[in-house]
C-alpha cells in the first residue's frame, strides 16, 4: 500500500507543471518570448522592435479582457493580424520573415512540450 502512495505522489508531482500552466501563463510566456526575441516585427507595413511588439500585443490582450480564453485565441484573434486593416503580422528573425501566427504557435508548442517533460 505504501508503494502505491509513493507512486501516486510521484505521478501527481510530475504533472504539476502541466496543470499549473493557465492560459494567462501561456500568453504571458508568449509575450515574454516576443519581447526577448530581438526580432523585428512588421505590423501594417511598418517595422517595430521586439519591445514595441510586446507592448502592442500586451495592450491588445488587456483590452480584450475575458474574451480571450486560450493561448490559441490570443494568437488567432489578437497576435496574427491588424484588427484595423486585416493585414497579417510578420516576424523577421535571422533574415527570414515568418507570419506571427506560425512563430507564436511554434513557441506555444515548445512551451507546452517543455512544461510536460
CA distance 117 to 112: 9
Q: Could you report the per-residue pLDDT of 27-70, keeping only the tens digit for each?
A: 999 999 999 999 999 999 999 999 999 999 999 999 999 999 99
In order of 42, 86, 90, 96, 115, the CA distances from 21 in angstroms are: 29, 31, 27, 30, 8
Structural domain spans, the chain:
22-116
* pLDDT on residue 16: 47
- pTM (global) more than 0.85: no
Amino acid at each position: 500500500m505504501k508503494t502505491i502512495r509513493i507512486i501516486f505522489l510521484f505521478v501527481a508531482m510530475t504533472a504539476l507543471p502541466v496543470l499549473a500552466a493557465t492560459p494567462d501563463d501561456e500568453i504571458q510566456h508568449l509575450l515574454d518570448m516576443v519581447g526577448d526575441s530581438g526580432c523585428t516585427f512588421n505590423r501594417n507595413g511598418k517595422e517595430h522592435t521586439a519591445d514595441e511588439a510586446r507592448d502592442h500585443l500586451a495592450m491588445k490582450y488587456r483590452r480584450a479582457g475575458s474574451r480571450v480564453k486560450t493561448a490559441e485565441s490570443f494568437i488567432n484573434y489578437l497576435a496574427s493580424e491588424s484588427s484595423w486593416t486585416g493585414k497579417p503580422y510578420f516576424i523577421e528573425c535571422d533574415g527570414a520573415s515568418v507570419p506571427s501566427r506560425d512563430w507564436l504557435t511554434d513557441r506555444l508548442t515548445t512551451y507546452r512540450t517543455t512544461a510536460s517533460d
